[in-house]
């Protein structure tokens, strides 16, 4: 539990808090990342590390981890979170949309992109990132990127009779995030949530939060990867459970 500031508000940044609320309890993908990290046998680069859900898990299993995060508040919080967890990791503060500026402290044997982070980029931006990763990784490195399994997206929503909000209590504050809908457009998925926080005194604050993911199929991502020298080597399905869309991990190899 984090300490509170003198004003009584939790010291964690809003970005770190909402990362923990909305994604902190998600673990369906963790066995895959551990499996791939053990097979890779070298440094792991996580794209979009957020509050450290995956990076800290892998570091706790003894892997050398480089956490890449574009949000400066989250990037600043990651070393503190690692210290609290008794883990070690390197942090690189960089926007995925600026891959030419990417410099790494070690040559990764594995690159992972959990929670559809590759979908924050559109078709004009993804190839540059893929090409830069190809330049930076070790020979025969694996790149594993998850995308939304759209075949399960509508069925998950249709089967949901009631989706309970994600909730977390931090220093007497209660945070909740309730999924409302996913809007499927021609080029993007817009995920809308209602975020609410309640102070220890009972004051309530609500806000609407939208997350935009660019649509890309596994097959399209593979074609973009092949164009920059990454070879497709298969898919792995990640089942997220009832009322949630699944993910597909696209596996690529640097040859």
Q: Where are the domains of the chain?
A: 14-151+216-254, 155-212
Side-chain half-sphere of 142: how many Cα atoms within 13 Å?
Answer: 23
The first and second tokens of residue 174, run together, are 């209660």
Look at the block and give the residue holding tokens 């990362």: 19
Q: What is the pLDDT of residues 31-57, one digit of tens each?
A: 999 999 999 999 999 999 999 999 999
Q: What is the pLDDT of residues 69-113, one digit of tens each?
A: 999 999 999 999 999 999 999 999 999 999 999 999 999 999 999
104 and 136 in contact (C-beta within 8 Å)?
Answer: yes
The total number of residues shown for the chain amounts to 255
Q: What is the pLDDT of residues 151-187, one digit of tens each?
A: 988 665 544 446 789 999 998 999 999 999 899 999 9
Describe the chain by its helix, strand, coil percentages, rounded to 5. 30, 30, 35
Under the banding of pLDDT at 50, 70 and 90, the label for residue 125 is very high
CA-CA distance, 188 to 164, in Å (whole number)? 25
5 and 13 in contact (C-beta within 8 Å)?
Answer: no
Amino acid 18: pLDDT:
95
CATH of 14-151+216-254, one of 3.40.50.150, 3.30.1330.30, 3.20.20.70, 3.40.50.720: 3.40.50.150
CATH of domain 155-212: 2.20.25.110
Amino acid 157: pLDDT:
52
What average pLDDT score do residues 246-253 get?
98
The pLDDT mean for the chain works out to 92
Global pTM? 0.92
CA-CA distance, 197 to 199, in Å (whole number)? 7
Q: Which of 76, 83, 86 is nearest to 51 (CA)?
A: 76
């Amino acid at each position: 539990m984090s300490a509170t500031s003198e004003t009584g508000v939790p010291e964690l940044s809003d970005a770190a808090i909402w990362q923990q609320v909305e994604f902190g309890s998600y673990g369906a993908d963790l066995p895959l990342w551990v499996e791939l990290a053990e097979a890779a046998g070298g440094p792991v680069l996580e794209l979009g590390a957020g509050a450290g859900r995956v990076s800290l898990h892998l570091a706790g299993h003894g892997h050398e981890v480089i956490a890449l995060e574009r949000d400066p508040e989250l990037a600043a919080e990651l070393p503190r979170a690692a210290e609290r967890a008794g883990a070690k990791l390197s942090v690189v503060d960089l926007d995925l949309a600026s891959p030419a500026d990417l410099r790494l402290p070690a040559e990764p044997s594995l690159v992972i992109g959990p929670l559809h982070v590759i979908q924050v980029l559109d078709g004009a931006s993804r190839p540059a990132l893929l090409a830069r990763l190809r330049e930076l990784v070790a020979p025969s490195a694996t790149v594993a990127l998850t995308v939304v399994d759209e075949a399960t997206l509508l069925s998950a929503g249709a089967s949901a009779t009631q989706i309970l909000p994600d909730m977390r209590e931090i220093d007497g504050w209660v945070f909740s995030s309730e999924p409302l809908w996913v809007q499927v457009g021609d080029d993007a998925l817009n995920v809308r949530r209602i975020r609410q926080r309640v102070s220890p005194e009972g004051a309530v604050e609500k806000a609407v939060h939208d997350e935009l993911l660019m649509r890309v199929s596994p097959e399209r991502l593979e074609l973009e990867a092949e164009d920059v020298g990454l070879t497709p080597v298969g898919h792995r399905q990640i089942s997220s459970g009832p009322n949630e869309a699944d993910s597909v991990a696209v596996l690529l190899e640097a040859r």
